[in-house]
Amino acid sequence: MLGMYIPPVLLTTFWGNTAAGLFQSAYKVALVPILICTVLIQSIYPSIVSRFATSDKDSITNLYHFGTKMLLNIVLPCFVIFLFLSEEIIAFIYGKNYLEATWGLKAMAPYILLTAILGMSMHLLLAIDKQRIVAKIAVYTTIVSIIINFF
């Protein structure tokens, strides 16, 4: 999630308030499936932690696979819809004046897909006491987000 706070700042700095506003309008649409994924991940997390405490590795694996499948059932349709129907979605929600925001929604389609997969994986790593790996992933994804925003 940290990586999504950086683009508006960079967009405002280099391309102005309009670009940042268009990005934010698209992000608010993409936020819906991201929040649903977050709720699902956080509902599975306590079960993974309790199974780690009892060393039930098969159950942890099953929960991880179940959670990942559920997340993909949510984000794959959103991914396709955002890629192919972004113009219609933006026009419906914000009106025709915001059609320039469709680039942002299309650009966020892969982000929501990665958020679901990385989110589940990062919570699994936290549950099994691998915080250092999570910190490294967070730093890496933030750096990648900054680099991507320059292109």
pLDDT at 11 over 60: yes
Number of neighbouring beta carbons within 10 Å of residue 120: 26
Low-confidence winner among 11-25, 39-53, 111-125, 134-148 (lowest mean pLDDT): 134-148
Rounded CA-CA distance 72/92 in Å is 25
56: left (phi over 0), alpha (psi -120 to 50) or beta: beta
For the chain, give the mean pLDDT. 84
How confident is the model at residue 56, as a pLDDT? 78
Rounded CA-CA distance 74/30 in Å is 12
Low-confidence winner among 24-28, 43-47, 128-132, 139-143 (lowest mean pLDDT): 139-143
pTM confidence score = 0.75
Widest distance between CA atoms in the chain = 56
46 or 6: which leads in pLDDT: 46
How confident is the model at residue 87, as a pLDDT? 94
Number of neighbouring beta carbons within 10 Å of residue 110: 12
Is 16 in a helix, a strand, or coil?
coil
The model's confidence at residue 151, banded by pLDDT at 50, 70 and 90, is low
